[in-house]
Structure 1
């Protein structure tokens, strides 16, 4: 009771009773501001300040995450430009050495043949990679349209074309691998965790970790073998990550719908107070098709408190997605679903103010921002 009395005296001292006199039109009006009224006004001001602070912090977090991705893209682009410049310098040096060399035509032809064999293996390993044909066709066409009549000059031009083709293949492989790796990082995932166990990648050119051993097998110079191996490694890693991306929930849960609410702190539509929103909301009409964002197994269907009719899909590797407030459910627990498969219809069941889909992505038991996975899906499509 003593502490309560002290607290009451402190509040009275902090907010003493005040009288406000207003003179208007020759009349004097008096207003009394009691301690309780002043405390109520101070509470309103403090609540508004807290709300503004929370909203500002949420905006800053989103801006910082977006700027971080932009910086990483710029960094990768700068690395790629430096890499291309280095390859061009190597090509110019090789051309100068070739022009200054006085070796026999037979030795040059033998070297060209061995390099052709190495390039054939590399192009075989790159066959089927999306965008490879478009990236390499110009260099291949230049090699096939040699117009020189002198046999030695033609061999020299073929050797130069080989350098250009290897540069094009190396640049394509590195840019594709970097883009797919960046897509995983944008989703908050570690790319190396989704490569084959032990880092084992396929391809005959990357079985040997030592470039000198590969150079001996291919019977080419070590620098050429190292560049071939690097390009083959990047292509194989990009292919492995692209295959892993097919199992990720990177697709959109609905088509032709707009996002109505984001991930993070927002004003609760029922309590009107700040509350954490653990997913994305997509608005639409009743029974709008809801689609699986990735392949997996249906882990739960039914009613969840606050979520209404809910579907949960286990995608493996600690990944799970949740689709809530549904009007109808068209799958059953234990059923395997494919990406884009219809799961149910949009509704407004549970703690909902209108027809919409509440979509969540969980990684190892923690809710993640689904917008990062949607952006990663867009990057994967660009890489393809």
Structure 2
């Protein structure tokens, strides 16, 4: 060490005296080592800071790209949903037009059936009159023969002439009646043939309309299946029992009537036919889809932030404690929107949460919005999904401007992303 760091003296000279500081080899070695450590630590810390900065930039870029992709996907799904609703409305209009055509066709069939029954009754009356006329004719001929035999026995010329004239008159009347009855019979037979031909044409037209209605029914059923299945999957993915959920919504909207009333094409009190059953099935599916739509507004499937944001902390353990919600970071004053229809149960300041809004929803669900800079609702107020309830801030126990968003079911916190991800392929 003495060879590497020979002893040195540092002279300090003033106007009146001269002093020196003795630097031993060990002192020089310690000073040099300390300087090297300080320089090395400075280089290492600078490298770590630089790497963190680069990594943060990459993370922000990735988050921005993911957010852009997510927003584009949401816009595409919204367009697809609007198109599906438009197709469903168009199919319902076609279905209504088909029902009107079926009603007109049934009226025509009933009219033709009535005419056919009237013709059959007329033909039966004509046949009865014809039989009566034939019987009368036979009786008149027998009476004529009997009188002729009597005349031959009595040989009274005057009486014979009178009887013959009377018989001739009776025979002429019977012949005229027979001719008239035969003519009516021929006319009724022709009308019956025309009615039968008309009935066959109506049956053929009814079959064609039935085929067309079957295609319309099939298209409606397919459209409803495509519309209802994603909604059902969304609720099941969120852990909600669809049967209990729909029954709850049905009890809240229990009015009946209007376009979803059951259809019956029978006017004789008979059981509904296959077309009626299919139509009623479609109406039931439309009612089910409407119930799903109402339920979707009452469960927190939407995002609380509609502006630019980034996720900063998810649901689960964090720093040794349970984080019971999801954090969304954004600019100070970013609007915060409710994620479902409900009633405000708390609006004020609460320890840890800062400015907090609690909203009670159906199905035992509650949502919480914390750390807000401003609150725009009050307790007891009814809100709808998408209403602005406050602004993003940094109140309470918070390290920066963000929204702490919670979803609780039956008082127990659940992961809010379960609902948000469940609705990703629907809204």
TM-score for both structures, normalised by structure 2: 0.48
CA distance in 1, matches of 2:315, 2:224: 37
Report 1:309-328 matches (<5 A): 309-328=355-374
SS in structure 2 of the partner of residue 343 of structure 1: strand
> How far 1:242 moved relative to its partner?
1.1
Question: Partners of 1:371 and 1:217 in 2: how far apart?
Answer: 56
**Structure 2 gap segments, 5+ residues each:** 1-83, 102-199
Larger helix proportion, structure 1 or 2? 2
Matched, 1:305 2:345: no
Is the CA contact (8 Å cut-off) linking 2:310 and 2:330 kept in structure 1? no
**Residue number among 149, 156, 166 corresponding to 2:217 in the alignment:** 166
Query: Are the equivalent residues in 2 in contact too, given 1:201–1:240 (CA < 8 A)?
Result: no
Q: Please name the residue that 1:224 is paired with.
A: 275
Q: Counterpart in 1 of 2:418?
A: 372
User: 2:309 maps to which residue?
Assistant: 258
Q: Give the alignment of 1:127-206 within 5 angstroms.
A: 131-135=87-91, 155-195=206-246, 196-197=250-251, 202=256
Partner of 1:354: 400
Match of 2:330 in 1: 284
State whether residues 315 and 326 of structure 2, in contact with CA within 8 Å, keep that contact through their aligned partners in structure 1. Answer: no
Using a 3 Å threshold, how does the CA distance of structure 1 residues 215 and 191 change in structure 2: closer, same or farther?
Answer: farther
Q: 1:177 to 1:365 in 2, by over 3 A?
A: same
How far apart, CA to CA, are the structure 2 residues paired with 1:331 and 1:204?
Answer: 36
| Alignment deviations for residues 198-241 of structure 1 (CA, whole Å, 9 cap, x no partner) | 99784689877xx9x98787968744333223222111111122
State which structure, 1 or 2, has the greater radius of gyration over its C-alpha atoms: 2
* Alpha-carbon distance change, 203 to 241 in structure 1, aligned in 2, over 3 angstroms: farther
Residues 325 and 346 in structure 1, CA contact (< 8 A), matched pair in contact too: yes
Q: By how many angstroms is 1:356 displaced? A: 0.7
SS across alignment from 2:377 = coil
SS at match of 2:210: helix
Shift of 1:129: 6.3
1:233 is matched with 284
1:167: how far off? 1.0
1:345 and 1:204 map into 2 onto residues whose CA distance is 42
Name stretches of at least 5 consecutive residues in structure 1 with no aligned partner.
1-127, 145-149
Secondary structure of the 1:317 match is helix
**Following TM superposition, by how much is the alpha carbon of 1:295 offset from its aligned partner in structure 2, in angstroms?**
2.4
Q: What SS class does the counterpart of residue 298 from structure 2 fall into?
A: coil
Name the SS for the 1:173 alignment partner: helix
Q: Please give the per-residue CA displacement for 1:41-65, whole angstroms capped at 9, x wherever unaligned.
A: xxxxxxxxxxxxxxxxxxxxxxxxx
